[in-house]
Amino acid sequence: MVFGRQMTGRRGLFLVMTRFSVGIAAMFGMLSVTACMSTPPASGQLAPEPSPKEERISSLEVALADALIEIEKMKARSPSLDSSDVLPSMPPDAETGRCYAKLLVPPNYVDRVERRIVKEASERRETLPAKLEWFDEQVLVSEEHVRLKLVPATYKWKEERTQVLPARSRQELVSAARFDTVVEEVIDTPEEWVWRPGRGDIEKIDEESGEIVHQERIPARYRQIKKQVLVEPAKYRKVVEPAVYETLRKKVVDVPEHTIEERIPATYKTVKAQRVLEPERELVHQIAPVYKEYSYREKVADARLDWRMVPCEREITKELVYRVQRALRKLDYGTGGIDGILGKHTLAAIHDFQKKKGLATGRLSSETLRALGIDGDTIN
């Protein structure tokens, strides 16, 4: 539909431009004839008043200028006309006895490699350390101060009776529960109605395949299960256990820890120190840029309609559809079953296979059969 509208717009522009060209040619013809017939006035004479024919010529000149302006506007608004975009009404080089159809050819891509900069040119700054000299120097390590000395605590042993386990009660089994096994039927598969090919009491026409299908009832299926039923519950009795005690010997604090003051004199030490002979300085190194090659795909041709050879209606037999479904099933494409019917699941699988292989889409074609390993000569 989009392709038809686009062609209609281009044809309309072509007709308008053709009419403008015819009108322009007529105007130029009239102007040239009038120019040959008119003669300039003699010197010293007054120019005669314009005749009706000259007024007509003047109006045609104004209309010509307006027409040229309108043509330039239409050229700017409309895409350029290209005869290669027009699909012929009949396939070129068509063979007798073969069938053809307009299919959508996918866009064409080429692999490109582009060199891009990933890291700009930069500078690396290097700092040269300063030159130093070692010398001996006496420094204060710690000033005279008072230190608190910690005296640890002293402990003694003490016996104490503690409860290990509290008094508790528990349930003791007197007699176990008794169960009986019973058999019960449950639904395994519920009753359902399905549509099958052929005639019956309730019929309709399948919108996709155009076949007559009827509704068929599939009865429910049951299965037996075994389960246990409680006959007599278990019996218990309550048993009380007394608390358990234990005599423990533990360590307790006799004298807690405490601190005493201790005077510490100042301390000194001789260390190696450094002095600067030459300060540090900075060097600048230039770093070249880093490039990396990237691969990408570029579209060189858009999707278009083109004539492709397809199996004729008489050639799309049930055996052919069987072979197509088996070939698609081997390639892990879901066809909804191998039934010899070109239904929606099989058509969807054919479309997915064509898109993956870069083939023309729209219907089952001869090139699709060859890609599936099905000999097109035996079909045709």
215 part of a folded domain? yes
Say whether pLDDT at 195 is over 60. Answer: yes
Are 304 and 321 part of one and the same domain?
A: yes
Instruction: Tell me the per-residue pLDDT of 61-97, one tens digit each, with 9 for 90 and over.
Output: 667 767 766 775 565 555 444 445 577 878 888 888 8
Domain extent at residue 201: 168-237
72 part of a folded domain? yes
91 part of a folded domain? no
333 part of a folded domain? yes
Of the candidates 378, 344, 159, the residue with the CA atom closest to the CA atom of residue 250: 159
222 part of a folded domain? yes
Picking from 10-24, 170-184, 302-316, which range would have the lowest pLDDT averaged per residue? 10-24
Are 231 and 256 part of one and the same domain?
A: no
The predicted model gives 104-131 an average pLDDT of: 87
Are 355 and 321 part of one and the same domain?
A: yes
Q: What is the mean pLDDT of the chain?
A: 77
Picking from 52-66, 127-141, 295-309, which range would have the lowest pLDDT averaged per residue? 52-66
Are 188 and 252 part of one and the same domain?
A: no
Task: Count CB-CB contacts under 10 A for residue 25.
Answer: 10
269 part of a folded domain? no
Sequential DSSP letters for 332-379: T---SSSSS---HHHHHHHHHHHHHHT--BSS--HHHHHHTT--HHHH
Separation between Cα atoms, residue 112 and residue 127, nearest integer Å: 44
Say whether pLDDT at 356 is over 70. Answer: yes
Are 309 and 364 part of one and the same domain?
A: yes
Say whether pLDDT at 8 is over 50. Answer: no
Are 212 and 226 part of one and the same domain?
A: yes
Q: What pLDDT is recorded for position 65?
A: 65
Instruction: Tell me the per-residue pLDDT of 307-339, one tens digit each, with 9 for 90 and over.
Output: 989 999 898 899 999 999 999 999 999 888 889
Are 326 and 367 part of one and the same domain?
A: yes
The predicted model gives 255-282 an average pLDDT of: 87
